[in-house]
A = this chain, B = another copy of it.
Amino acid sequence: MTNISSLGEFGLIRRLTADIRPQNPSTRYGIGDDAAVLNFAKDPHTRTLVTSDILLEGVHFNLEYVPLKHLGYKAAVVNFSDICAMNGTPTQLVVALGVSKRFSVEDLEELYSGIRLACDQYGVDLVGGDTTASMTGLTIAATCLGIVDDKQVVFRNGAKPNDLICCTGNLGAAYMGLQLLERERIVGEQDPERAQAAFEGKEYILQRQLKPEARRDVIAALRKAGIIPTAMMDISDGLSSELLHICGQSQVGCAVYADRIPIDFQSAAMAEELNMDIVTCALNGGEDYELLFTISQKDYERIIAIDDVSIIGYITRPELGCNLVTREGNEIPLRAQGFNAFPEE
């Protein structure tokens, strides 16, 4: 008997899906990227994207501090983010819920109000789902469809040596928000009389944790600028883990500069307060839902004209490995220490 934690989530998926070969002409690309790429059009250029995420109570969220409306919003947006990461536009969402008895109809209306707000904000149609009882907690399985032109679709496997590595926004904020919520939860348990949690001046990192956004603004800006990334994915498990995915699937190496990784001041202050290293948090924190992508050097002038995109390093030949270059100029191999859905005991 093989313990799942000995393989990890990605090893497990590889083992379960290794020799799956698509049979239908409408399947252009199956397992292995942020979304599958399908072709339902007789017109040869329209592609349909499909992606699915499952969120489980006690693993992905804690209802002690996550409001149901925010949870619904997040469950939708993390799927939109996967569609954006294929350079596509999300169009339809299907949500399947498992709900235990402790939830009321009003609770589910709250959850749905968040799902629907996200759909409204992103112009996505909620087209179906399934709602059933659960013996335990709350389960949210969401599947998102989207569209993309076949000349625009971006996979994880196209990064080439000398390509520039870019990321959007800033990293580590969602993780610092989670640390803050966890700290306040524990303080609240120890001192139930306390008037309210100490969230002042930390609103940004809270929002990054509780109400993430998909970077369709950057997708639109890239399109407007005529830039098609050579590889792209969204940062859900931490920068290190995602860089290793892109480099692995593209069969290249990378050098990422620690002092180029964009970090918000609230994240840095929170890390300071908690005695944590913010670069480590940015590398391994996860849930930022920013985009990580690589572009050809010829696009340099065009990329620096786009707001909220940082160039953090470059792609190398595979034999050079995947490295973080510290402020002192030392190279440290990147390791995937992101969110582990199957922790060892």
The number of times this chain is found in the oligomer is 2
State the CA gap A112–B143 with chains docked (Å).
19
For A6, A38, A43, A137, which residue has the most chain B Cβ atoms within 10 angstroms? A38
State the CA gap A128–B96 with chains docked (Å).
16
A42 close to B (CB within 8 Å): yes
A131 touches B9 (CB 8 A): yes
Which positions 86-133 of chain A face chain B at CB distance < 8 Å?
A: 91-92, 94-99, 101, 103-106, 108-109, 112, 116, 123-133
B105 touches A4 (CB 8 A): yes
A145 close to B (CB within 8 Å): yes
Residues of chain B contacted by A342 (CB below 8 angstroms): 132-133
Residues of chain B contacted by A306 (CB below 8 angstroms): none
B50 touches A133 (CB 8 A): no
Knowing A23-B123, A24-B91 are in contact, say whether A98-B54 is a contact too (CB < 8 A). yes
Knowing A15-B109, A31-B128 are in contact, say whether A143-B94 is a contact too (CB < 8 A). yes
A176 close to B (CB within 8 Å): no
Residues of chain B contacted by A141 (CB below 8 angstroms): 52, 54, 96, 139, 141, 143
A52 touches B130 (CB 8 A): yes
List 16 A–B pairs whose Cβ atoms lie within 8 Å, in order of A's numbering.
A1-B104, A3-B104, A9-B132, A15-B105, A20-B126, A36-B127, A40-B147, A50-B92, A51-B128, A52-B128, A54-B130, A56-B134, A59-B132, A59-B134, A135-B137, A143-B143
